[in-house]
Each structure stands twice: as C-alpha cells, then as structure tokens.
Amino acid sequence: MKDLRPRLEKVRAEARGFAHMSQLATDVEKRALFKRLADELAIEALELEQIVKQQEQLDPSDQHEVVEFKPSSQKKRG
C-alpha cells in the first residue's frame, strides 16, 4: 500500500483551511457549511492517521526474517 502520509497532511491542511473560512464567513449558512466541511475532514484525518500508524507498525523494513532452525541431527547429509 502506498504511503498515505502526504494525503494525511493534505487533509489536515484542508480541515484547517475550512475551519478558518468558517470563522471568517459573515453569512450564517456559509459559516455552518465551512464548519461542517472542516469537521468531516478532521474526522477523515483521524482515520488516516490511524491507518498510517498501523502501516508504520507493519513496515516490512522493521521485520526480521524468520529462519527455520533444524538441529544438526535433523539435517540431511550428502
């Protein structure tokens, strides 16, 4: 799966932008719309953050190769 960190940062930035627009809006309906969009994007960012953390825990570069151990008495001799 591709790295989602850039997407996470973009969604966070968009959520901050909509929250800011909500504060600046003079129209009540637009203020509510921008607030709702900011909230939805913030939720998406939290979900992406959880996925990113799971990916980091499962990163194959952190995994060690498992090698089966066979005692010398079980090895085939040629």
pTM: 0.69
CA gap 52, 47 in Å, rounded: 9
Residue 43 forms part of a structural domain: yes
pLDDT for 60 equals: 61
Confirm if 28 and 1 have CB atoms less than 8 A apart.
no
Number of structural domains the chain divides into? 1
Range of the domain at 9: 5-54
Distances (CA, A) of 53 to 14, 42, 73: 21, 16, 44
User: What tokens were used for 3?
Assistant: 């790295």
Residue 40 forms part of a structural domain: yes
**20, amino acid identity:** H
pLDDT for 57 equals: 82
User: What tokens were used for 76?
Assistant: 């085939």
pLDDT for 3 equals: 81
Residue 72 forms part of a structural domain: no
pLDDT for 38 equals: 96
Q: What is the pLDDT of residues 20-77, one digit of tens each?
A: 999 999 999 999 999 999 999 999 999 999 998 888 887 666 554 555 656 666 555 5
Residue 64 forms part of a structural domain: no
CA 68 to chain centre: 34
